[in-house]
Amino acid sequence: MQPNGEETTTRASLDLLYSISRELTSALDLGKVLQRVLTLSMSNVGAVNGSIIVMDESGNPIEGIICVGDKMIENATEQLTETLKGGLAGWVVRNQQEALISDTSSDERWLRRPDDEEGRTGAKSAVSVPLVVRDQIVGVLTLVHPSPNFFTLAHLDLIQTIADQAGIAVLNARLYEESIRRARVMTALAESASVITASLDLDEVLQRILAQISDALLVEVVSLALIDPQGENLTFQASSAGTTKGLIGYRVKLGEGLAGRVAKEGKGEVIPDASDHERFSQEYERNPKLDIHAIACAPLKSRGVVIGILEAINPIEGRFDPDALEVLTGIGSLAGTAIDHARLFEQLQATHQRYLELFQDSIESFLISDWQGNILEVNRQAELISGYEKADLLTKSIDQLFSIDQEKIGSEFSNLIPGETLTTESELSTKYGEEIPVHIYIRAVTVDDGTNLQWLIRDIRERKNLDRLREDLISMVYHDLRSPLSNVVSSLDVFNAMLPQDGDPAFRSLLNIALRSTERIQRLTNSLLDMSRLESGQPVVNLFSTSPLLLAVDAVEAVSPVAETKNQIIKLTMPTDTPSVLVDGDMIRRVLINLLENAVKYSPAGGEITLGADTEADLAKIWVQDTGPGIPPLEQDHIFDKFTRLNPEGSQKGFGLGLAYCRLAIEGHGGQIWIESDPAQGSRFCFTLPLAKN
């Protein structure tokens, strides 16, 4: 059976469709696909000229091709941009429909160019169809014939059929190209990442960044500038080409020129034609050897913050790839982080070095050990004090140098509280067999991720010698004064007894002064003796049931003459039924006299002093309250230490022994002594003593 006319046309259309789809689907390169679409459509309708513009999702032209006769012009995107704005292709895109122009000279939609003048190609006919895929226009195909009225509606139909097929092929090719481009960008970034982050040396990191950008973008020069710490200027730190080395150190204000603008706004820019001088600063004027024709600039970012910029100048192939800015921006993010890390590492090293120098040059002796006591590090001073060389010390453990008071430190340093220092005294065995008394400060320190022990060792030979000297002096004073003093006291007593009742009052008064003074010296020497006894651990033995009130009356009587010279009142508020205490009466009387003497000494003229007591369970609590300056809280504990004086340069004389004696004496009786002091109200010295059992 012969096919009828309609069937023949359908058959031809199907053949055409088949060959079109075969032709188009066999290529993935966008340029090739466009050429084929154009050639196929032109040959099928007999067009002489034609063009295709491909657009991205936002409608911007990304690829274009023009065919004039048998000449194919690739990369014609820029030429076609104008048509897309104001010509026939633009009309097709805006109206989303095909167009047939029978006479271009009389149709508004045709963008007239000098070429369309009558004397030249003159009036033509044209068809233009959108390339649509899933309701989205991906391009426009336009065909032209030099004679008006050439194209018919059948041509338009045919072109539309081809365009429908071509749309899919163009989209595929575009996606393919996009994925290739992505892969290229990702590969460039991955390569850069591994190279740039492989070093922590700042200079090397900068050089690697420049080299990576040169390789990835194939440009003549790469430069890098960092924002200074004040955040006002960019300073160029590195540049890849010898001719631009003079740029290093050059400063650009933030916001000025291309580099300053990118640094301020944090967004990269490409200037494809750098003759447009307005848009970038003249930072390269200082390098007249460099003639800039294209430049790309991207921010260097670390943790989302711009820390500088990167510039890629003069692509070797004449123009930047479309993905150049993306690659440069990607490297900018990697590089910013790498620079930040390198800078942090430099700071860390500097701090480490400073710490090492401090440690090494310290005038104190330091050892670092692990928790088993093995010595890990020592400083020069530790070598000096121990006599051992560092290498020897590193083979030793702490207990080979000195023994540690286990009770104080706790087993396995359990008493060592993080952040606090334990102190103890010991003797350091030196290489030369000497035993040096040392004070040791131990604390846990964090070194390289682990905690170790830091031992500060202080030579206390001088202090020990001084202490010994003081002890010797005290015992000398005591021994050499004691017997002549008791001779003086007994002689004065005899003298007193021999003095007639109606004798010269001046004589009696002088005798009283002599008696009181010698009693004071006796009290002092007795207290010194008690102190050395109590310090050597001897117990208080002469314990008798004694009335605190009687002791208090005695003590008040002893200090009254001095208090009277200062117009001070001593109030004895102790209840008469205060129960008896079990004490060495003479020792406690001296404690009371010491406290009262201090109260008199430090209270102003006309001041008031109170001596009171009450009973708490099986203890008597006795106190001396004055109206003096009080004791600052920080001093309240160690004021009871020997030789401690708050104001040694002040007008009040003393040795700092009185309160030390009081504490030793009270504690020797099983009591406690402390201060309750409010500077506004003077001091209250309190102590407790055990009650005597009935």
**φ, ψ of residue 632 in degrees (nearest 5):** -55, 140
Amino acid, single-letter form, for residue 438: V
> In the complex, which residue's CB is closest to ligand ADP?
654
Q: How far is the CB of 463 from ligand ADP (least distance, A)?
A: 20
**φ, ψ of residue 434 in degrees (nearest 5):** -80, 150
Residue with tokens 């121990």: 386
502 contact partners, CB below 8 Å, separation of at least 6: none
Q: How far is the CB of 628 from ligand ADP (least distance, A)?
A: 4
Q: How far is the CB of 350 from ligand ADP (least distance, A)?
A: 47
**Between residue 589 and residue 648, which ones bind ligand ADP under the rule CB under 6 A?**
598-599, 602, 626, 628-629, 631, 639, 644-647
Residue 561 or residue 650: which is nearer to ligand ADP going by CB? 650
Binder of ligand ADP out of 130, 683, 686, 689 (CB under 6 A): 683
Residue 158 or residue 593: which is nearer to ligand ADP going by CB? 593
Angle between helices 153-196 and 5-25 (to 10 degrees): 10
Rounded CA gap, 296 and 331, in Å?
A: 13
Q: How far is the CB of 656 from ligand ADP (least distance, A)?
A: 4
Q: Does residue 675 belong to the site contacting ligand ADP (CB under 6 A)?
A: no
User: β-pairing, 136-145 with 569-572?
Assistant: unpaired
Q: Pick the closest to residue 41 from 149, 169, 166 (CA basis).
A: 166
H-helix or E-strand spanning residue 306: strand 305-315
Q: How many residues make contact with ligand ADP (CB under 6 A)?
A: 20
**φ, ψ of residue 625 in degrees (nearest 5):** -110, 135
What token pair was written down for 229?
């710490």
Q: How close are the terminal C-alpha atoms of the chain, in Å? A: 147
Residue 169 or residue 599: which is nearer to ligand ADP going by CB? 599
Rounded CA gap, 64 and 66, in Å?
A: 7
**φ, ψ of residue 438 in degrees (nearest 5):** -135, 150
Q: How far is the CB of 629 from ligand ADP (least distance, A)?
A: 6
Amino acid, single-letter form, for residue 137: I
Residue 207 or residue 672: which is nearer to ligand ADP going by CB? 672
Residue 528 or residue 599: which is nearer to ligand ADP going by CB? 599
Q: How many residues does the chain have?
A: 694
Residue 219 or residue 657: which is nearer to ligand ADP going by CB? 657
Residue 235 or residue 644: which is nearer to ligand ADP going by CB? 644
| Residues in contact with ligand ADP, shown as a per-residue x/- string from 141 to 180 under the rule CB under 6 A | ----------------------------------------
Residue 329 or residue 677: which is nearer to ligand ADP going by CB? 677
Q: Interacting stretch for ligand ADP, rule CB under 6 A, among 455-463, 551-559, 613-621, 653-661?
A: 653-661
| Residues in contact with ligand ADP, shown as a per-residue x/- string from 655 to 674 under the rule CB under 6 A | xxxxxx--------------
Q: How far is the CB of 393 from ligand ADP (least distance, A)?
A: 43
Rounded CA gap, 643 and 580, in Å?
A: 32
Q: What is the 3-state secondary structure (H, E, C) of 239-305?
A: ECCHHHHHHCCCEEECCCHHHHHHHHHCCCEEECCCCCHHHCCCCCCCCCCCCCCCEEEEEEEECCE
Binder of ligand ADP out of 122, 272, 579, 654 (CB under 6 A): 654
Q: How far is the CB of 626 from ligand ADP (least distance, A)?
A: 5
Residue 87 or residue 658: which is nearer to ligand ADP going by CB? 658
Rounded CA gap, 571 and 553, in Å?
A: 10
Q: How far is the CB of 573 from ligand ADP (least distance, A)?
A: 17
- Whether 455 contacts 442, CB under 8 Å: yes
Rounded CA gap, 628 and 684, in Å?
A: 10
Residue 377 or residue 626: which is nearer to ligand ADP going by CB? 626
Residue ranges binding ligand ADP (CB under 6 A): 598-599, 602, 626, 628-629, 631, 639, 644-647, 654-660, 683
